[in-house]
Structure 1
Amino acid sequence: MSEVAMIGIDLAKRVFQLHGACPNGTVVFRKKLTRIQLLAFMSQQSACIVAMEACATAHSWGRQFETLGHTVRLIAPNYVKPFVKRQKNDVADAEAQQARAMLFRTRQMFVGQRTQTINALRGHLAEHGVVAPQGAIQVKRLADAVTDETVGLPAGVRELAKVYIVQIEDLSAQIAALDRQMKGAAKEAEAARRAQTMPGVGPITALAIETFAPDLNCFRRGRDFAAWLGLVPKQTSTGGRPRLGKTSKMGQRDIRRLLISGAMAVLQAVERFGKPHNGWLISMLERKPRMLVAVALANKMARGLWAMVTKQEDYQNPAMMV
């Protein structure tokens, strides 16, 4: 049997559903156990992460699993809800806690590996006089230099550089395949389709909100959703004097990062085309640092997304509502 890295458990009164997965996400087992059988089965498993929904009995079970050497992770119920599949049953619940989030984590890992490989290749070739700007789009320039025999590269360096280029191409192909999978899933979900009507929100961001965020109706206002994402200033108030610092970064980092990236794309479009109805952004860019403006816009986007989802409306440009 393959090594189990994580076990998801759907807790109940008498019957428990277990879903075990190996480090690459492949399903190792799906089991249905009684209360008496659960501890005996877990004692036979090697130390791994045990994920459970936080409920009345979760802490008690967690303490018992920790005595067996496992690492327990309790998930808040509102975080579990986005992973529940359309047909409600306990087996699907335990499996769904691990499924869609793994798609994002895998893509994130591949992107990080590609960036690391590109930077390594740029660094090695720079030592031999081959220089290219940053970014994945510049890999072709490096590849052309490696294959160009007129470029004075030692034979050993040229061969090793080709290994780097093949690795980068493989990672790019895998990232593209995951992007297609995520775009397909975003088209099927109505909430994700609606979120994409907002400028700066693409299929990956829309699907991340669908996956990682709880039901947005549980937030009283859009400001609460923005605070949950960590897109608000960190407060260190004392003596009745409010002091606001940098963003708290206390919320869901995946959605926060994607919203800020989308906001940066909107800023780039505003700077390039200078649309009149984005006058407040142009004014902010003249007075404030670019990243600060991007975070402010991401906060505004989060509040707008909350309103769109809760009211079930597509994005409406404020300039067109006069």
Structure 2
Amino acid sequence: MPTINDATTGVGVLNATALYAAIGNGSQFATPRALSVWLGVTPKQYASGEKSFYGGITKRGNQYLRKQLIHGARSVMYRTKNRDDKLSVWVKQLVERRGKNKAAVALANRLARLAWILLQRNENYQPVAS
């Protein structure tokens, strides 16, 4: 099982084991987006004619895992205050544009997609220095 354990990633031992217990290596999902949709951290999409808009999150899939990823995302958001790496800058900009709660869900979505990629490649997380 690959690890994503890093103090700034939002996915520690508890979240990593819960994710692995729920999806294994993630082979049942064709893309990272499919995992995000299954977890319910993507917005509902409404379309009629030429108009299309997004609602709140779908809340599908594993409720415990979604909650844990969002809590991990909040932890990352808390640690970005005095940092200037790419992820921290992205999170700060997102919080300014959308607010803390939407930013937490968006970051949880990003973490889930990253976890799927690492599980598929069977690699450990290596943070990129900026």
Structure with higher RCO (Cα < 8 A, 6+ apart): 2
Q: Which has the larger Rg?
A: 1
Q: Which residue matches 1:242? A: 52
Find 1:228's aligned residue among 10, 15, 38. 38
Find 2:102's aligned residue among 292, 300, 303. 292
Q: Quote how far apart the aligned CAs of 1:284 are.
A: 1.4
Contact 2:36–2:112, Cα closer than 8 Å, also in 1: yes
Q: Which residue matches 1:282? A: 92
Q: Which residue matches 1:265? A: 75
Contact 2:25–2:120, Cα closer than 8 Å, also in 1: no
How many angstroms apart in 1 are the aligned matches of 2:76 and 2:32?
20
2:41 pairs with 1:196: no
Q: What stretches of structure 1 of length at least 5 have no aligned partner?
A: 1-189
Q: How does 1:25-174 map to 2 (within 5 A)?
A: none
What is the TM-score when the length of structure 1 is the normalising length? 0.38
The one-letter code sitting in structure 2 at the alignment partner of 1:195 is I
Residues 206 and 276 (structure 1 numbering): CA distance in 2 closer, same or farther, change over 3 Å?
closer
Q: Which residue matches 1:316? A: 126
Residues 215 and 274 (structure 1 numbering): CA distance in 2 closer, same or farther, change over 3 Å?
closer
Q: What stretches of structure 2 of length at least 5 have no aligned partner?
A: none
Q: Quote how far apart the aligned CAs of 1:195 are.
A: 3.2
The one-letter code sitting in structure 2 at the alignment partner of 1:201 is V
How many angstroms apart in 2 are the aligned matches of 1:266 and 1:246?
22
How many angstroms apart in 1 are the aligned matches of 2:50 and 2:23?
33
Deviation per residue, 1:101-131 (Å, 9 max, x gap):
xxxxxxxxxxxxxxxxxxxxxxxxxxxxxxx
How many angstroms apart in 1 are the aligned matches of 2:52 and 2:40?
18
Contact 2:32–2:117, Cα closer than 8 Å, also in 1: yes
The CA RMSD over aligned residues, in Å, is: 1.8
SS at match of 2:66: helix
Residues 316 and 240 (structure 1 numbering): CA distance in 2 closer, same or farther, change over 3 Å?
farther
Contact 1:274–1:282, Cα closer than 8 Å, also in 2: no
Deviation per residue, 1:232-285 (Å, 9 max, x gap):
0011212242221000011211111000000000000002x2334321111112
Give the helix-richer structure, 1 or 2: 1
